[in-house]
Structure 1
Amino acid sequence: MTDEQSVQIEDAIAAAVAVEPSWAPYFELPVIFVQLPSDSRAISASAPHWPQHVMLAPAAFATLDELREQVVHEFCHQWLYLLEEVCPMEVADGSRDLTLPSGTTERSVREVIGAAHVGLALAVLYRDDDQPAQAEQLRDYAHGCLQVLEEQAADLLTEHAAEITQRMRRLRL
């Protein structure tokens, strides 16, 4: 990242914490930001096998709000990846291809849990940012992800994953 992009990332984190101050400690996780190629179709990305690295495309820097959303999104993934190092989310040899409420196919249990987690975090961000329609859409998406898990993969959740999904279900946004 350029120095300017690094400052923009810091500003996006500060903007997220201004909306939800309780998130401040989560952004203390040391993360290395790198650029996605300019021809990438993704706006941001991260991967469980490349921990504490977040990739951002030039489009992520279009506005502070866009960057804030992408940074929150990717930090959600980073924390879930860390949890998965200690507490796997899917029973061994229990793979199943699931479809997200968005229509995205061939997702694993952990990817559906991750989508729910991101959806709920962004729902908080937009609710507290006084964008109730966006918050409601994201909350509904997250609950749709949890419904996919409940209806199609409950038998694949580890004890820890079941606890995490139950906690997400109980959130009142």
Structure 2
Amino acid sequence: MVISCKNYLTNNHTIDIRTLDRKELFKHIDYIHNLYQTYHEIFIKIKQKIENYYLNKTNDHLSEHHLFGQLDFLSQRLTRFREIIESFAIYSLLSKSRMDGLEQITSIYNKIETEFYTFKFNLFNLNDKQFDLFYNQLHHTLSDIDKKLYQILDKDLHRILHSPSHYSYNALKITFTL
């Protein structure tokens, strides 16, 4: 089933899923999540029926982890992959902002985004930990970006609110225009 999902996502290994349109990618990921949930729910129902039928016998052959381990792993990885793409959609707005002081933050974001699109990892391989390492690094970097953004916004907001201008609202409006 994991191989079928991989073939579905990569169009039989002809495309890199990072190059898919975001809506199309999310549609594929949602489809795989729904497939996983449906199969898992059906498995649980069937397992309960079998266990009820064979009350006094052991059912070690009905291991959920054995049957769904790789699909569960793929589902978790795709969730993380989706989070990355969604984060990029949000943080890409930094480059469109006209606020002073965002150049360094935008540079950090652009570097991590470029790294993601050039990074070699196998999303479908249980043993390939490169994606997980990148995911953790990305969250750390985005957390740092958030802190720097808060500092810049706090400084600008303080400056605007304490300015002698009677047009603080307009100054605030201009500052936060993207």
TM-score using structure 1 length: 0.30
Q: Which has the higher strand share?
A: 1
Name which one, 1 or 2, has greater alpha-carbon Rg: 2
Q: Choose between structure 1 and 2 for higher RCO, CA contacts under 8 A separated by at least 6 residues.
A: 2
